[in-house]
Amino acid sequence: MRDARWKYLRSRGLALILLLACPPVFSDDSIINRIEALQAGHPVTVLDAPILAKEALTRFYELREFDLAWDSYNARRQLAQAISEVADQGLNPLDYHHETIAALALQPTDQVEEEVRADLDLVLSDAFLLLSSHLQAGKVNPRTIHAEWTANRQDLETHTVLAQALDTNSVYQTLQQLKPSAPAYQKLVTARRTLTALLGQPWHELAATPTLRPGDNDPRIPEIRRRLALLGDIPSADHDRPAAYDASVESDSYDDELLIALPAFQARHGLEPDGIIGRQTFAALNRLPVERIRQLDASLERWRWLPDDLGDTYLLVNIAGFEMTMVRSSEEILRQRVIVGRPYRQTPVFSDRIRYLAFNPTWTVPRKLMIQDQLPIIRSDPGYLERMNFKVYRGWGADRVEVDPATIDWHTLSANNFPYQLVQEPGPMNALGQIKFMFPNQYDIYLHDTPGQALFGRAERTFSSGCIRVERPFELAEHLLAGNSNWSRANIDRAIELRDPVNAMLRTPIPVHLQYWTVWVDQSGVIQFRNDIYGRDQRLIDALRSDPQGALMPTPRRP
C-alpha cells in the first residue's frame, strides 16, 4: 500500500521533498486509493454512494496531503442541514448523499467505526463540492438545453471554498452565500414553499367542456372555487385557515366572487382575462401542484445559470413572459411588453451589452426572410415594394447596383436563384420602426421599434422573426441615453423628424439579458405562469429530476 502511495507522490514531483524530510505518514489507506481510482477514470462508490466531484475532490485532498477533513461534528451537522433544505431551491437532497450523511455523519466521531471514517469523509466532501457547484452555477449544463447560451456564471474553485468553510466553521453559511442573491430568485424560493404545501391535495381532472360563463350553474364550480382559493386567487377572510373551507365553496353558481377571481387567475397564466372558463383556462386549473413546482424549478435553475452580478443598470427580457424590465441600483425603473420570435424562429437566450441606438434605421432583409417571407408577398402584390418603401439591389456590398423592381420577373426566382437584396428605407412603415437598440452578436438579434402596435394587445406575442419588438421604444431610449447630454428627448425627436439614419453611442454599454422563464413572481408578489412557447422546459425539468447516473424519477399520477 505504501509503495502505491509513494508512486503516486513521486509522479507529482514530491518524492525528493519527502526523501529530505521524514518517511511519509498517511491518515488513511483508503483515501489515496480512491483518489488514484478516480484519476484512472474508474467509477468509485463509497458507502453505496457514487463519488462524482472527481477533479475537485482530488485537488482538495491533495492540498491537505490526504488528511481527513470532517472531524468536526458541527461541520457535519451544518452540511446535513444545508442538504436537507435544498429542495426549496428545486434541487434533490438525494443527489448529495442525503441518506448516507443522515445515517452516519451525525454520530459522534468516536462512535463511527474506524474503517468507515475515511469513506464517510469522502462522501461528505463529495456532497459539499457537488452542492456548492450546483448552487452557484446550476446542476444542468445550460449548453445541453440552449446551444446558444453565452452567459455562464464564472467557474468556482469549489475545493478552495470547501477548505475555507471547514477552516472557519462556516459550512452552512458558505453554501447559503452561493445561492443567487437576486430578489427575484428569493421570491421564487418562497413561492415554491407555498406550492409545496398543496402537495397531497385532491386534484382530479375537470372536464374542459362545456364552457362556463358568469351566471352559469355547474357542478364543477365548487371545485374551481376550491382550487382558486388554494392557489391564492380567492383570498381567505380567516388567515389561519385556507379559504377552501369557506361555506361558499359548496355553491355551484358562477357568482360575482368568482368573476373577480377568474380574470386575475387568467391574467397571471398569460390567458385572455375575459372570465370565460374554456379549454385553456381549464388546462391551467387542471395543472397539478407538482407540475407547477417542476415548472418553477426550471426557472430557479435558469437563475443559477446567470452571473450573480447582472450589472448596476441592466435590461432583462423574459422571452416566455413577453416582457422587458429595466433595473437600476436594484430598483425596477421601466417595464414594457415585448413581441418575440415565432416558435419556428425562436429568440435565443444569451447576454450582451447595448452599445448604441440607431435612429431611422434601414432594414436589410436577411436572405432567409427574403425567400420565405418577402418573395411570396411580392408575387401576389406588385405594389408592395413601392408602398413599403423598399429598394432592390443586385449584388452586395460596395458593388451592389439598384434595380427597378418592375423589370424583375419575380416568379422565376427561388432559393437557388435570388441575386437580389431588399432594403427598406427609414420611415414609419419600416419593419424596425424608428429606433433600433444594438448589441452586435452572432445571432443578429436586437431590440427595436415596430409599426405593428396592435399586436402588443395580444396575450401571447410570438410574431417576430427572432428579434424583440419593444412596446414604448422612445421611453426606453430616454432611459438608456439619460447619461448622455447630447441626446435629450428633444434631440431624439429632432433626429426622428429628419429621417436620416444616425447612431447614438452609449457612454457606458448597458448589459442586456435575454432569458426564458415560464414562472416568476411579479412586483406585487403574485406568482406568474406562462406557456412553454418554445417547448424548452421539459428537457430541463427531466435533467433536474434525473439522478447522477441519468435515471429519471417516475412521473407522479393524478390523485
Which residue, 416, 357, 434, 420, is CA-closest to 390? 420
CB atoms within 10 A of CB 277: 27
411, 448, 479, 513: the catalytic one is 448
For this structure, is 97 an active site residue?
no
Which residue, 15, 120, 28, 123, is CA-closest to 66? 28
Q: Residue 210: is the preceding peptide bond cis (ω within 30°)?
A: yes
Measured N-to-C along each axis, helices 29-39 and 114-137 cross at an angle, to the nearest 10 degrees, of 40
Runs of H (alpha helix) within 399-546: 473-480, 489-498, 537-545
Identify any residues that bridge with 436 across adjacent strands, giving them in sequence order: 358, 448
Sign of CA dihedral 285, 525, 472, 309: negative
422 exposure class (CB count in 10 Å sphere: 0-12, 13-18, 19+): buried
Task: Take residue 91 and report the three cell numbers written for it.
Answer: 434541487
CA dist 287 and 198 (Å) reads 12
CB atoms within 10 A of CB 155: 9
Gyration radius of the chain over CA positions: 30
97, 269, 467, 513: the catalytic one is 467
In this structure, which amino acid lies at residue 534?
A: Y
Task: Take residue 45 and report the three cell numbers written for it.
Answer: 462508490
CB 136 within 8 A of CB 153: yes
Give Cα separations from 356 to 41, 362, 382, 446, 504 (angstroms): 50, 15, 36, 11, 5
CB atoms within 10 A of CB 519: 25
CB 434 within 8 A of CB 428: yes
CA dist 521 and 189 (Å) reads 10
- 3-state SS assignment for residue 331: strand
Q: Which residues are catalytic?
A: 448, 467
